[in-house]
Structure 1
Amino acid sequence: MGQLFGTDGIRGRANAYPMTCELAMKTGQAVGILTQKSSNRCVIIGRDTRISGQMLESALAAGIASVGVDVMIAGVIPTPAVAYLSSTIESCGAGIMISASHNPYYDNGIKIFQKGGIKLSDDQEVGLEKMILGPSLDLPSKIGLISPANDAQTQYAQFLVKKFNFQNIPKKLKLVIDTANGAASFCAPQVFNSEIFDVSFSHNQPNGTNINDECGSQHTQDLSDQVKKINADLGLAFDGDADRLIAVDETGRQITGDTLLAVLAGFAKQTGKLGNNIVVSTVMSNVGFGNALAQLGIAHEITGVGDRKVLERMKKTGALLGGEDSGHIIFLDEQTTGDGLLSALKLIEVILETQTPLSELAEIMTVYPQVLINVEVDASRPDFMKVPMISETIKEVESQLGSQGRVLVRYSGTQPLLRVMVEGPEENLTRQCCEKICEAIRKYL
């Protein structure tokens, strides 16, 4: 990671460095120049529902236009919609999504897609950082135009819907969908419409400050209660920018990304659609996920955290399916990034084709108890393994768990946090081990 870019773009508290109007404008200029180098004429900008979104949208658009590149404003739209549109609109040389994903409303972020809907490489991020943090540019006499992309939501919704034939279902599936008061709030009803599904929407009244607030993929208790209350077949929860999916089965039990990925992988293999018989996941995936793939006879590739890393490994290995336990799932033959709505439709397809409820499908994987605790740290990010009391504690826990568990400690790429994840054979021991490491970090770091 550089000075600005983390695991998923630039992110921070809105109206404070680096998420200021000044830096957003310089980011817009840098993206505009990147677009010109590829001989394209336009950049499309989308955003989620945060109160700071329009402010940053204006600054980015001004920066892009100031270097002579046109801007299309898509408004509130999911991150995967920006990826899709930047790959299908011929004149588009880049796409920008303004979102801090699952973070609280007071944060915001800038995610950048190059031509084709692919997130930037490490080298491209380094090049952009040099321009953003460098001296002021000599601006051309030509100024770009800024115009609305009025049909962006509809284009994205139609792209999704036309992939599936749910028209002749004997009985409508009863769904509850939580859009996290975020980017999917307005387009989800176009995708999961009442002509096809018996659908109820919750947390779809964004007001600028309620995005991800006790709702969405990070907080599924309310969704679980709603599913049980109306005897729904399935609950679906997106995060603030709708690139993640977490599900709730018909009993109200949360089904996380690893299990969903295992279900989708099993069905893809069964139907002959699993590219190279490989699935890619990250180091954060549950031990049970690898075991499930082994039982299915599917090769498992493991990579670093972030759907960008997943995509890179998928391309190298020829895999068509990959994802993260957080709910990012990539179908590389159909999308270039994690897409919560596409993942939801794929899951519905499995349920309908197999005539099996999610609670039974989820039995494909045994989930090992996992405890993840975030410890707040300062921005200096010292090497914690060079602190003897911390490294010794980690090694002690690893020795205690042996082959029945694992430890992963890493800095967050998007927040000032040190993430401590421990998996073990049973819940109490796993939690005790995780707390032990966190206590050492708080005391000695």
Structure 2
Amino acid sequence: MLDVIFREYDIRGIYGQELNRSSAKAIGFCLGLKMLEKKCKNVSVGYDARCSAGELFSYLVSGLNKAGIKVYNLGLIPTPLGYFSLYEGMKFDANIMITGSHNPKEYNGFKITIHKESFFGKELKEFSKEVYKHLDDEIEENLEAENYDILSLYIEFMKEQFKNLKGFDYEFIIDCGNGTAGVVIEPLIKALNLKARILFSKPDGQFPNHAPDPTEEKNLRAAQELLKQNSQFKFAFAFDGDADRMVALTRNHIFCGDELCYLFAKDIPNPRILAEVKSSQNLFDAVEKFGTIFMGKTGHSNIKKMMKEKRIDLAAEVSGHIFFKHRYFGYDDGIYAFLRALELIFKGYDLEDSIRALPQLYTTPELKIPAKEEQKFILVEKFKNAVKNGQLNGVKELCEIDGVRIKFEEGWALLRASNTSAYLITRFEARSEKEAQKIKTQVLELFEKIRAGI
């Protein structure tokens, strides 16, 4: 079934299965028609380091050319440079990034932006029906595309934006993870004359050193070892496969996206902040003291939409997607976020102390509960109704923005359906591990009772 590759935020799947020659050509053709329908004259296309990128590029571009839209080839670049192409010089009307993001090497897919708006959700699901109609079309191979050097323009832009950092005498580590970050980081570090030890900069779709997901601590071990062994290094930064996410770490602490959001917010006058439902209560409570903060849905497409609606300066996901509208364009860019973090250090902020000064809370990692695609949203709805009917003790408040976030006297719990995979996501936070476990136990007991009844 082709449906499995049409996710909430993008098109993604295992290359060679539903994502293949015929589906990629049909997607390209239908996207070209959709973009022309939306008055686009052209589309920029870039790709990540995955081994399937070249083949997918040829199939996608063949479909786009059959539709009759002008194609520009951005080459192997991070996803944020695809977004950047829509803002730099206002030359392009749409962008497609061929990327599997942080997923295992066998995955790939398409992130689509039309007139600076994410193409996602119901519109993307409806679009999948058009793709079905053209799966058996004969689409000849046509790789006609004009090369466009977005990389040099991006580096020049960042060099100007962060000229205050030029020659900063501070040693740090960067782990590119053999993803696309390396094609930017090496020339950018040179342009700013920064003192960085760069790890795994060569793009390699086999990801020989570790998986391209820096939110898994095991993938940070190389950077952690260097921090422990070399006292001159105080900080490290790591990127996912397409560099739209960034994780920062010291010898003693790994900064989650919500913690970075708080640190960045402190350096923005009267900030308007957006945080997803998985974020720590500390972020909401702390930002309320000096700015305005909203809670929103998880997912880069949802966040970008709400940022425009609420005139947001800065948004973040726990997973390391950081969206700056303040001094930038409002999309998630791990490389830009890295430079803003380095700028905080340059200005004299002690990032670790700032986090340590917040109230001590215990937050569990995300717990993923396998669930069938056709059942996961039903399970969340039934759980929500059970909570409303008083089947959980001590509930103070119920937030239904994205799944259900339940506030208790001692902390909170979250249960939501993943929009991209066949599982539910839970997270728990409280003033101590014991209280968090207590909340977790009663929430999961109720959930299992509901699941048993389906």
Same fold at TM > 0.5: yes
Matched residue SS, 1:408 = strand
Quote the Cα distance in structure 1 between the aligned partners of 2:229 and 2:236: 12
Gaps of 5+ in 2: 397-406
Tell me, yes or no, if the aligned pair for 1:385 and 1:391 is still in contact at 8 Å: no
Pick one of 339, 349, 370 that aligns with 1:356. 349
Matched with 1:315 is 308
Q: Aligned-pair distance for 1:257? A: 0.8
Task: Give the letter for the 1:27 counterpart.
Answer: I
Matched with 1:336 is 330
1:121-161 C-alpha deviation (Å, 9 max, x unpaired): 545425533322335699999x7832433x23222222222
Tell me, yes or no, if the aligned pair for 2:214 and 2:239 is still in contact at 8 Å: yes
**Is 1:421 equivalent to 2:427 in the alignment?**
yes
Matched with 2:201 is 204
Task: Give the letter for the 2:163 counterpart.
Answer: N
Matched with 1:176 is 173
Q: Aligned-pair distance for 1:246? A: 1.3
Matched with 2:402 is none
Matched residue SS, 2:409 = helix
Quote the Cα distance in structure 1 between the aligned partners of 2:136 and 2:88: 30
Q: Aligned-pair distance for 1:292? A: 1.1
Q: TM-score, normalised by structure 1?
A: 0.86
Task: Give the letter for the 1:336 counterpart.
Answer: G
Q: 1:14 to 1:391 in 2, by over 3 A?
A: farther
In percent, how many aligned pairs have the same letter?
21
Matched with 1:31 is 31
Q: Which runs of structure 2 are paired with 1:210-221 in the superposition (5 Å)? A: 210=207, 213=211, 216-219=214-217, 220-221=220-221
Quote the Cα distance in structure 1 between the aligned partners of 2:335 and 2:425: 28
Q: Which runs of structure 2 are paired with 1:224-239 in the superposition (5 Å)? A: 224-231=224-231, 232-239=233-240
Matched with 2:131 is 132
Quote the Cα distance in structure 2 between the aligned partners of 1:166 and 1:133: 52
Tell me, yes or no, if the aligned pair for 1:193 and 1:199 is still in contact at 8 Å: no
1:282-303 C-alpha deviation (Å, 9 max, x unpaired): 11111111111123x2111111
Task: Give the letter for the 2:432 counterpart.
Answer: E
Q: 1:88 to 1:14 in 2, by over 3 A?
A: same
Q: Which runs of structure 2 are paired with 1:3-402 in the superposition (5 Å)? A: 5-17=6-18, 19-88=19-88, 90-116=90-116, 118-120=117-119, 122=121, 124-135=123-134, 145-149=144-148, 151-166=149-164, 172-193=169-190, 196-210=193-207, 213=211, 216-219=214-217, 220-231=220-231, 232-249=233-250, 251-269=251-269, 274=270, 277-295=271-289, 297-333=290-326, 334-353=328-347, 355-363=348-356, 365-366=358-359, 368-371=361-364, 372-382=366-376, 383-385=378-380, 395-396=391-392, 399=395, 402=408
1:372-430 C-alpha deviation (Å, 9 max, x unpaired): 21122333234114668995799547659822211111121222221111112212442
Quote the Cα distance in structure 1 between the aligned partners of 2:303 and 2:235: 27
Tell me, yes or no, if the aligned pair for 2:15 and 2:106 is still in contact at 8 Å: yes
Q: Aligned-pair distance for 1:80? A: 0.9
Task: Give the letter for the 1:20 counterpart.
Answer: N
Aligned residues: 430
Pick one of 399, 406, 410 that aligns with 1:404. 410
Quote the Cα distance in structure 1 between the aligned partners of 2:7 and 2:56: 18
Task: Give the letter for the 2:73 counterpart.
Answer: I
Matched residue SS, 2:16 = coil
Q: TM-score, normalised by structure 2?
A: 0.84
Task: Give the letter for the 1:259 counterpart.
Answer: E
Quote the Cα distance in structure 1 between the aligned partners of 2:8 and 2:421: 10
Gaps of 5+ in 1: none
1:240-289 C-alpha deviation (Å, 9 max, x unpaired): 1111111113x3411111111111111112xxxx5xx3111111111111
Tell me, yes or no, if the aligned pair for 2:165 and 2:343 is still in contact at 8 Å: no
Tell me, yes or no, if the aligned pair for 1:44 and 1:72 is still in contact at 8 Å: yes
